[in-house]
Amino acid sequence: MLEYCLNCNYEKALELKIEPVTITVRGEAIETIDEFYQCPVCEEKFTTNLEYDSLEKAYREYRSRHNLVQPNEIRDWREHYGLTRTEFSRLLEWEEATLNRIEQGALQEVPEDQWLKFIMVPQNLLYLIISKPETLSAEKREQLISQLSANRIVVETLQRFYNILRENFSEFSKPRISRTKQA
């Protein structure tokens, strides 16, 4: 909240304004909103937070339109496996700065996105950890291998269970199951 204008002598709190704005991302027009404070006297605009905000929203929209992974999904995934940025960038064979930039909201290139999504598949991560043992400490490697192998067993068990269901109970279609449910 701005308590006075930074540009003129106006000394009251500035009004928060929200306006639609069109941002062009890689040649594509994306409608988003812009939040700012505006001085009623000199009409100077001031950003509410970081100037990055509306651009960040536009990037988020662009990523969801093009099915690109979002920065928070990368962070959550990395933290789920207890990988530091240094460790993850070593596995990616990226400069740590590249990963930092993308995790903090820079728009990734398509090949970067494909590589990220490839590694984010548990079996691929497991393969990478096993085939590049030098990238992680022995302790971290063992911990991850056991975490990923446990996941693999769960997935394989579910897959087997699903196949058994399909082979033996294929006559139970979805609508029929829901109709036999007790209210």
Binding residues (CB under 5 A) for Zn ion: these are 5, 7-8, 10, 39, 41-42
Residue 116 beta carbon to Zn ion: minimum distance, rounded to whole angstroms: 44
Bridge-partner residues for 31, per DSSP? Answer: 22
Q: How far is the CB of 120 from Zn ion (least distance, A)?
A: 48
Residue among 39 and 58 whose Cβ is closer to Zn ion: 39
CB of 110 to Zn ion, least distance (A): 44
Task: Select 13 or 165, whichever has its Cβ closest to Zn ion.
Answer: 13
Count other Cβ atoms within 10 Å, centred on residue 30: 19
User: Residue 78 Cβ, how far from Zn ion at the closest point, in Å?
Assistant: 44
Q: By C-beta, is 42 or 177 nearer to Zn ion? A: 42
Residues 6+ apart with CB under 8 A from 11: 4, 5
How many angstroms separate the first and last alpha carbons of the chain?
A: 52
Number of helical (H) and strand (E) elements in the chain, helices listed first? 8, 3
At its nearest, how many Å lie between Zn ion and the CB of residue 53? 21
Closer by beta carbon to Zn ion, 39 or else 92: 39
Of the pair 4, 118, the CB lying nearest Zn ion is at: 4
Q: Please give the full DSSP string across 11-80, using - where no structure is assigned.
A: -SPPEEEEEEEEEEETTEEEEEEEEEEE-TTT--EEESS-TTHHHHHHHHHHHHHTTPPPHHHHHHHHHH
